[in-house]
Amino acid sequence: MSMRRAFLCGFMAVAAGGAAGATRALAQAGAPQAERLGLRGYDPVAYFTASAATPGLPEFEYIWDGVRYRFASARNRDLFKANPEKYAPQFGGLCAMNMATGVRREADPTIWIIADGTLYVFASTAGSERFRFETKANATRAYTNWQTLKNAPTQ
């Protein structure tokens, strides 16, 4: 379907049924969807370089693996671009402890650890403490679960 036709379908859906209908019409037409904002806008590189959860800025964004990341500086953005696997949070920024138990749950990017050079974020401090208690075992379970849960809906 052409973009013009997709637009017309979306316009007609708004006239007939509101914005929700337009969104469905455009999605069905194959219009690109907005990328998810990773880490709720926190800078993934700053965890490593500043040892702190640092908010990123909209003017320093980079899209990687379908996720839009924000950075506190152009330097951090460029470091990420050069080696995203080093800086990106595991499990798409979802809670690592929940992933270890087979649950897909949003994380709070202010609760985090770096273990073996890898960034993990958590939904709660209790989850981060449980994860630290058996880091290797929990990480292994989380990686296994990620293979089947990465495309499932988030709780």
55, pLDDT greater than 80: yes
pLDDT band at 34 (very low <50, low <70, confident <90, very high): low
> Given this model, what pLDDT does residue 66 score?
86
Instruction: Give the SS3 label for residue 105.
Output: coil
- For the chain, the structural domain boundaries read 1-33, 34-84, 89-155
> Is 33 or 17 the better-scoring residue by pLDDT?
33
136, pLDDT greater than 50: yes
CB under 8 Å to 126, separation ≥6 — which residues?
Answer: none
The predicted model scores a pTM of 0.77
CB contact at 8 A, 46 and 52: yes
Distance of alpha carbon 40 from its chain centroid, rounded?
A: 8
CB contact at 8 A, 62 and 80: yes
